[in-house]
Structures are given as C-alpha cells and as structure tokens.
C-alpha cells in the first residue's frame, strides 16, 4: 500500500511540474516569419514572467493599431542592461519580431528593438530570451 502512494505521489509531481512549465512560443508566434513595426511606445510593463512593450504602429494596410510585443522577463532583461526606466511612453521605436499566429491579435515576439533618437537597442549584440 505504501508503494502505491509513493507511485501516485510521483505521478502527481510529474503532472504538476508539466503544468507549470513554460509555454511554447511556437504555439503563439510564427517563428518562420519576421515583421518590423515602427511607431510610438505607449506602455512598457517591466515584469515577470515576461515584459511587454505596447506600440501604436500601422498594420499592413496603414491603419494604426496597438501592438503587444512580448519580451523576456524582468530578471533576464536586467541581466542584459534593460531597466524599468529604459523605455518611456512617447519613445519612437523600431521593433522586429515574430508575428502572432492570429493576425487580428497584433502581437509580436520581440527579436530586436531600436530607439533611433539615441541609438539605444536590444537584440543586436546576441541578446535573446526564452
């Protein structure tokens, strides 16, 4: 009977670990494609598990949209020199990344970010996130 409880506990532990595992970017983003948006930053959420950048930029038809750009977590980005005050609303940015699988979501997985006004950037020196 004790062995049965140990086995059941082990199985439960495996399922619990799997449930808290990191989501797959491939399920959300088309990693075979890359797009670039250019516009005005409206919000920077520096947090875990992922930071988010929101940018007002035109879509493929020239219509202004609010794009959600998923980035690395605050801890990982901090280790790469990004701080809570690195980006501010009103910053003009150019972002390249993988588009979301649902085009109506206007969502991107960050690959690079450039603020042309001062050359601030991320993703050009091998920086990545998972």
pLDDT tens per residue, range 61-94: 999 999 999 999 999 999 999 999 999 999 999 9
Closest CA to 110 of 28, 22, 40: 28
Mean pLDDT over the full length of the chain: 86
Question: Domains plus CATH for the chain?
Answer: 25-122 (2.40.50.140)
- Containing 120, the helix (H) or strand (E) segment is strand 120-122
Per-residue pLDDT for 54 more than 80?
yes
Any idea which residue has 């969502």 for tokens?
107
pLDDT at 19: 38
67/26: higher pLDDT: 67
Residue 96 CA to residue 127 CA, distance in Å, equals 13
């Amino acid at each position: 009977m004790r062995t049965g409880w140990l086995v059941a506990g082990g199985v439960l532990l495996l399922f619990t670990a799997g449930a808290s595992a990191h989501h797959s970017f491939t399920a959300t983003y088309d990693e075979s494609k890359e797009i670039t948006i250019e516009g005005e930053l409206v919000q920077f959420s520096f947090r875990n598990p992922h930071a988010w950048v929101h940018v007002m930029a035109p879509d493929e038809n020239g219509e202004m949209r609010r794009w959600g750009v998923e980035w690395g977590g605050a801890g990982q980005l901090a280790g790469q020199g990004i701080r809570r005050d690195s980006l501010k609303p009103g910053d003009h940015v150019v972002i390249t990344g993988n588009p979301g699988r649902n085009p109506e979501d206007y969502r991107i997985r960050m690959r690079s970010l450039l603020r042309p006004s001062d050359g601030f950037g991320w993703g050009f020196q091998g920086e990545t996130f998972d």
